[in-house]
Amino acid sequence: MKLYKKILIVLFLLVIFVYICNITLMPNNLILIQGEILDLKTIYGITVGRKQDGKVLQASSNLNKNKVNDTGKIEVSLNLFGNIPVKKMDVNVIPKSKVVPVGKAIGMKLYTEGVLVVGMSEINGKKPYENSGIQEGDAIIEINNEQIENTNDLIETVNKSNGTTVEVKYKRNEQTITTSIEPAKVNENEYKLGLWVRDAAAGVGTMTFYEPSSGMFAALGHGIADIDTSELINIESGELTTTNILSIVKGQKGTPGEIRGTIENSESLGSIYKNTSFGVYGKVQSKNKLDINNMEEMDVALRDEIKTGKAQILCELENGKTEKYDVEIKKLYLNNNENNKSMVIKITDEKLIEKTGGIIQGMSGAPIIQNGKFIGAVTHVLVNDPTVGYGVFADIMIKQLKEVV
């Protein structure tokens, strides 16, 4: 009998744990596009109530099949067994927007917040950083209460210490950490921390879309990572520039191809505000120089409007020449909000295969169009088959953009 009671208690605690996990994992804030399905994946016993302007709009045990057609701020409450409120969520339902799928090759310059640690090395047999806790991918933002904006700032501040211990403030993800390092002497009046750092990065990619109503743009469909650490670069600012395509390296099985080009140092075309796992976002300042005035504006497709089958991508492989190429949507991952692999696409256009071998580096961000609507962007290529790759859903990129606006 005692064993039976213990089993019941364990099962009861397990059920409570499952409920707590389900509630805790629900986001506090959510952005939806008008007409999109509210997908909260609640478990049995948790009901969902929606309020707007103090009025209950809907209450259900499962809202997974319900579309949200009202725009504006909505309060969503999770209730245990219909009566006990356990969590509140703020949902911002944004109107459907129109965008211009662009597909043009662009240059991007990113400037880090502070300086990014990309490596470590001994200084005259010493490791000044050894017990500091600093790792590759961390961003140093202050030394001895002096702001560090670039590598020159770091060098000057460390040299001013004359070898005495310095207080270093750095960021890892969203956390700010303070530590101490005693610099190692290299020469007279020259000291080092033993850290390799970088304060900027640059690359070539494809602009996905431009939103006329806000002047904002999205590119790549994935983030820009540091070449040494593979960590997503935490940026303070960035510039959008023109690029000059020099050549195309054709992709082959096991060897990705690439668009080779140079970033022009002419007038900046816009500002970059955000570098995320789902793309790079910012504002266009010189629309005429981008030559997008005569491009077609399209509706953004919601996920339930996207189908497997024929589609097209838009990209620039020769300077000033943006073309559409045929692709096939092979598979859709409609419930995937975790990464930028929302769909599997296959290049079917013989002209594109002849020219590039399939998807190549630099084509990331190429907009995908189906039935006259913008449905997503190219993000990755399969190394073993360059004709096959992944794309990210349009609604994910739109929501990322709205967090910037």
Which CATH number belongs to the domain containing residue 276 in this structure? Answer: 2.40.10.120
List 138, 153, 226, 349, catalytic entry:
349
Query: Is 5 within a domain?
Result: no
List 138, 222, 342, 395, catalytic entry:
222
pLDDT for residue 185 is more than 60: yes
Query: Is 386 within a domain?
Result: yes
Which of 161, 193, 225 delimits the end of a domain?
193
- Higher-confidence residue of 389 and 21: namely 389
Sign of CA dihedral 359, 202, 317, 258: negative
Q: Which two tokens stand for residue 11?
A: 């099962």
267-275 average pLDDT score? 88
User: So what's the pLDDT on residue 398?
Assistant: 94
Per-residue pLDDT band for 200 (boundaries 50, 70, 90) equals confident
pLDDT for residue 65 is more than 60: no
51-71 average pLDDT score? 50
Whole-prediction pTM: 0.81
pLDDT for residue 123 is more than 80: yes
How many folded domains does the chain comprise?
A: 3
Average pLDDT, the chain: 85
Cα–Cα–Cα angle for 208, 298, 103, nearest 5°?
25
pLDDT for residue 235 is more than 50: yes
Please write the tens of the pLDDT for every residue from 344-354: 999 999 999 99
- Report the C-alpha gap between 189 and 298 in whole angstroms: 61
Which of 164, 193, 222 delimits the end of a domain?
193
pLDDT for residue 53 is more than 60: no
Per-residue pLDDT band for 91 (boundaries 50, 70, 90) equals confident
- Using a pLDDT cut of 90, give the percent of the chain over it: 49
Per-residue pLDDT band for 23 (boundaries 50, 70, 90) equals low
pLDDT for residue 77 is more than 90: no
Burial string for 131-168 (b: 16+ CB within 10 Å, else e) reads ebebebbbbbbbbeeeebbeeebbbebbeebeeeebeb
User: So what's the pLDDT on residue 64?
Assistant: 39
Per-residue pLDDT band for 292 (boundaries 50, 70, 90) equals confident
Q: Are residues 231 and 366 in the same domain?
A: yes
Query: Is 117 within a domain?
Result: no
User: So what's the pLDDT on residue 216?
Assistant: 94
With CA atoms as reference, report the closest residue to 242 among 266, 277, 275. 266
List 97, 132, 342, 364, catalytic entry:
364
Q: Is 380 in the active site? A: no
Instruction: Give the range of the structural domain holding residue 159, as residue numbers without chain letter.
Output: 122-193
User: So what's the pLDDT on residue 288?
Assistant: 75
Please write the tens of the pLDDT for every residue from 210-233: 999 899 999 999 998 887 777 888
- Report the C-alpha gap between 252 and 192 in whole angstroms: 44
Which of 193, 213, 233 delimits the end of a domain?
193
Q: Are residues 104 and 241 in the same domain?
A: yes
- Higher-confidence residue of 126 and 84: namely 126
